[in-house]
Amino acid sequence: MSNTVSYEDGHLIVAAIRVFDKQNGHPPTPDEIAAMLGQPSEWTRVLVGALERHGVLLGVESAFTIRVEIKDHLALEQLTKASDMTGFDEELKEFSAQKQQEEEALGDLFQKGDAEKKKRMAGLKEQLDSFKTDKKDAGNLFDDFPEKS
C-alpha cells in the first residue's frame, strides 16, 4: 500500500490545522492534530509527511517540537480523490472474500465435527443398551472382608 494521501484526507488535516490554530493561537503538532481528529498519531504523521511532500503543509521545527502550518492549500486540488484510489478497494474486497471463505471452511469443520460426535454418541448408546450384566448373584461383596473385633 502506498503512502499517497487522498483529497479528502488532505482537506481533513488542513481543516484541523485551521481550527486548532484559531482555538489556540498557534499551529498544532501532528499529535495535536491526531487528538483533534480522534485518529492514531502514527497515521496522522504519515498523512502530514505526504502533504508536506505535495507542498500543502510546512513543518516548522523549534527546539522541542514540530508545528504544522499550511503552505499552499490550493495544492490539495492536485490530490487524488478517495473514490479514484481503486487499489485499496480491490485489496479490501479480496481480503473480505478470503475471510468469508475461511469462515465457511471453519463452519463446515464444526458441522462435520457435530455429525461425527452424534454418530459416536449413538454408537455408545447402542453399546450401553446391548450391555447385559452378569446374571449370577453377586451376593454381598464384602463377605470376604474381615470384621473388626
Question: Quick check: is 72 in a domain?
Answer: yes
- Predicted pLDDT of residue 106: 81
> Full-prediction pTM beyond 0.75?
no
Decide which of 142 and 70 is more confident. Answer: 70
Quote the number of domains for the chain: 2
Residues 76 and 93 in one domain: no
Residues 75 and 97 in one domain: no
| 67: nearest Cα among 76, 75, 57 | 57
- Predicted pLDDT of residue 134: 46
Question: Quick check: is 51 in a domain?
Answer: yes
The average pLDDT across 11-36 equals: 96
At residue 139, φ and ψ (nearest 5 deg) are 60, -155
Residues 19 and 56 in one domain: yes
Sign of CA dihedral 72, 77, 83, 84: negative
Residue 1 has pLDDT above 50, yes or no: no
Q: Which residues contact 10 (CB under 8 A, 6 or more apart)?
A: 47, 51, 54, 56, 76, 79
At residue 140, φ and ψ (nearest 5 deg) are -85, 120
Decide which of 124 and 141 is more confident. Answer: 124
Residues 93 and 35 in one domain: no
Number of CB atoms found within 10 A of residue 37's CB: 17
Question: Quick check: is 143 in a domain?
Answer: no
Q: Which of 82, 112, 141 is the last residue of a domain?
A: 82
Residue 16 has pLDDT above 90, yes or no: yes
- Among 23-32, 70-79, 94-103, the minimum mean pLDDT is found in 94-103
How many angstroms separate the Cα of 61 from the Cα of each of 5, 29, 40, 66, 72? 22, 10, 21, 4, 18
Summarize pLDDT for 80-137 with one digit per residue, the tens: 887 666 666 677 678 788 888 888 888 877 777 777 788 888 888 888 877 755 445 5
Tell me which residue range forms the domain holding 14: 7-82
Helix (H, G, I), strand (E, B) or coil at 103: helix
The average pLDDT across 68-85 equals: 85
Residues 100 and 67 in one domain: no
The average pLDDT across 58-67 equals: 92
Give residue 69's identity as a one-letter amino acid code.
Answer: E
Q: Which residues contact 82 (CB under 8 A, 6 or more apart)?
A: 6, 7, 8, 9
